């Protein structure tokens, strides 16, 4: 069977959509062109360009960690398909990506892409850990990759961005908007701070010059993104090949639902994303809090508790009536009170989220969602925990999620089917050591300030709730057949 390309692109048909046209030139650079970007921002951008009748919003994607995306898309003229799973499975070929670069192999081209006068927007999906932050939220200047970037390399997202901005300033290429699409509260403000700190850490003269230019010419709007994008499986690729009549090495899978809320604060022109269904608002913060504390936190709850119970996918976990009840209780008792002032219907949103998670066609693996817990818990779960503690309540649901993560870490220590994929894996496993008592594990992991700060280990009622939940989880594990 032939491979997807401009030459072999099918005409479309029932349940298949193909691009109407290709962009004439690049207008957006994206750092982190993984599956989520291709199923989300690229789709919104293609729809916006089509609706506005504009052909200058092609995307130059920068892959951060490997050349896999190049191998997938370059032979296909950068075409790939999105398989929407749920009810009627639909296949859509996306043609908005115009170029892909591997930053490690093409640092000069990466800088040039950001410096291109035709580019007015840079977007990012580099995951929480890609921002290289300390526990207090600042740029981790002790990180070897950050230190190398300050000396002239460009291996981190912030380093790549600043080096590109320097080239843009030298070329007088005009203002730029840098739009974070990662699961960070106030992600625009977070990125602005990191860029400022990187500039300030550059040698005298160099940092001051680029820092001043950034303040005058670069905007950092925040955004909230939402679409479930599980890992692509062999059956997914086979279904796409059947529908298209050609093989696609770049298939991404997604649910039908998609949402993008964007702060309307841009320094230059942008795609008309609102014509594709995006919401342009003055303040993204309420939407961010709702998604992080409800969807993302509940995703983690189902991932850890589901994995511990032997559920391979999130859909299996949410179909477990007890786990769904715990998720509903967490949303009702812990999350909703912390978001009451935002005026959004938390319970209705939470019910919609759990229904989306129940889509069995997505097969979103619990192990995939469980990755990088040390980076996710401080953003998804601990704000709710702290808010409830400040209100004088004991966040039992939040404590259950943290305890489930602790049980998962302990299980990874024992080997077998559980593997701890986390940037702090060695630190966490060393902290747990050979402890097998709940109180000891709780105290050891609460002492990891990169995750919990210095405050939570001092709150007795939270520590007691953690210990009780972890003891129950460890008891179930010891008594199970697995």
Give me the tens of pLDDT residue by residue for the chain, a chain 482 residues long. 899 999 999 987 888 999 989 999 999 999 999 999 999 999 999 999 999 999 999 999 999 888 999 999 999 999 999 999 987 899 999 999 999 999 999 999 999 999 999 999 999 999 999 999 998 899 999 999 999 999 988 899 999 999 999 999 999 999 999 999 999 989 999 999 999 999 999 988 899 999 999 999 999 999 999 999 999 999 999 999 999 999 999 999 999 999 999 999 999 999 999 999 999 999 999 999 999 999 999 999 999 999 999 999 999 999 999 999 999 999 999 999 999 999 999 999 999 999 999 999 888 899 999 999 999 999 999 999 999 999 999 999 999 999 999 999 999 987 767 899 999 999 999 999 999 999 999 999 999 999 999 999 999 999 999 999 999 999 865 334 33
Q: What pLDDT, on a 0 to 100 scale, did the predictor assign at position 228?
A: 94
Secondary structure of residue 152 in the 3-state scheme: coil
Q: What pLDDT, on a 0 to 100 scale, did the predictor assign at position 417?
A: 76
Residue 223 near residue 180 (C-beta atoms within 8 A): yes
Sorted by sequence, the CB contacts under 8 Å of residue 376 that are 6+ apart come out as: 128, 183, 296, 300
Q: What pLDDT, on a 0 to 100 scale, did the predictor assign at position 3?
A: 97
Q: What is the DSSP string of 264-304?
A: S--SS----GGGGT-EEES--HHHHHHIIIIIIHHHHHHHH
Residue 65 near residue 32 (C-beta atoms within 8 A): no
Alpha-carbon span 402 to 470, nearest angstrom: 9
CB hemisphere CA count around 476 (13 angstroms): 12
Q: What pLDDT, on a 0 to 100 scale, did the predictor assign at position 481?
A: 31
Residue 308 near residue 363 (C-beta atoms within 8 A): no
CB hemisphere CA count around 250 (13 angstroms): 31
Query: What is the distance of C-alpha 149 from the center of its chain?
Result: 23
Q: What pLDDT, on a 0 to 100 scale, did the predictor assign at position 349?
A: 97
Name which of 418, 419, 414 is nearest 441 in CA terms: 414
Secondary structure of residue 138 in the 3-state scheme: coil
With the C-alpha atoms ordered 146, 152, 157, 161, is the resulting torsion angle positive or negative?
A: positive
Torsion angle of alpha carbons 435, 436, 439, 445, nearest 10°? 50
Name which of 253, 244, 245, 295 is nearest 38 in CA terms: 253
Strand partners, 60: 29, 99
Host H or E run for residue 115: helix 107-115
Residue 41 near residue 260 (C-beta atoms within 8 A): yes
pTM for the full predicted model = 0.88
């Amino acid at each position: 069977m032939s491979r997807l390309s401009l030459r072999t692109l099918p005409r479309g048909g029932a349940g298949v959509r193909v691009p109407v046209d290709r962009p004439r030139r690049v207008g957006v650079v994206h750092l982190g062109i993984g599956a989520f970007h291709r199923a989300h921002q690229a789709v919104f951008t293609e729809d916006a360009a089509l609706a506005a009748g504009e052909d200058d919003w092609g995307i130059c994607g920068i892959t951060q960690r490997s050349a896999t995306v190049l191998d997938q898309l370059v032979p296909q003229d950068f075409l790939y398909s999105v398989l929407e799973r749920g009810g009627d499975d639909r296949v859509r070929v996306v043609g908005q990506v115009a170029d892909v670069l591997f930053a490690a192999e093409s640092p000069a081209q990466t800088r040039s892409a950001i410096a291109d006068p035709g580019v007015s927007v840079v977007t990012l999906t580099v995951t929480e850990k890609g921002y290289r932050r300390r526990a207090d939220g600042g740029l981790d200047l002790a990180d070897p990759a950050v230190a190398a970037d300050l000396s002239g390399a460009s291996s981190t997202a912030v380093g790549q961005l600043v080096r590109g901005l320097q080239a843009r300033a030298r070329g007088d290429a005009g203002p730029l908007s840098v739009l974070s699409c990662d699961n960070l509260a106030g992600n625009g403000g977070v990125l602005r701070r990191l860029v400022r700190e990187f500039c300030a850490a550059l040698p005298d003269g160099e940092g001051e010059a680029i820092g001043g230019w950034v303040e005058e010419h670069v905007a950092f709007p925040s955004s909230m993104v939402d679409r479930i994008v599980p890992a692509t499986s062999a059956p997914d690729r086979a279904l796409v090949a059947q529908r298209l009549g050609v093989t696609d090495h770049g298939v991404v899978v997604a649910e039908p639902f998609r949402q993008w809320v964007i702060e309307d604060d841009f320094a230059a022109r942008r795609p008309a994303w609102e014509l594709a269904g995006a919401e342009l608002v003055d303040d993204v913060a309420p939407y961010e809090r709702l998604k992080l504390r409800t969807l993302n936190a509940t995703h983690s709850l189902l991932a850890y508790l589901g994995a511990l119970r032997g559920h391979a996918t999130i859909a299996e976990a949410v179909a477990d009536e007890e786990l769904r009840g715990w998720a509903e209780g967490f949303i009702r008792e812990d999350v909703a009170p912390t978001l009451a002032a935002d005026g959004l219907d938390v319970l209705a949103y939470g019910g919609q989220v759990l229904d989306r998670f129940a889509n069995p066609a997505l097969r979103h693996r619990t192990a995939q969602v469980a990755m990088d817990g040390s980076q996710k818990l401080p953003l998804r779960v601990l704000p709710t925990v702290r808010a409830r503690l400040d209100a004088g309540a004991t966040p039992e649901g939040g404590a259950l999620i943290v305890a489930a993560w602790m049980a998962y870490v302990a299980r990874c220590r024992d080997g077998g089917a559980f593997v701890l994929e986390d940037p702090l894996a060695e630190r966490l496993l060393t902290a747990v050591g050979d402890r097998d008592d709940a109180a000891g594990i709780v105290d050891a992991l609460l002492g990891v300030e990169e995750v919990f700060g210095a405050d939570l280990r001092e709150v007795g009622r939270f520590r007691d709730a953690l210990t009780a939940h972890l003891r129950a989880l460890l008891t179930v594990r010891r008594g199970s057949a697995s």
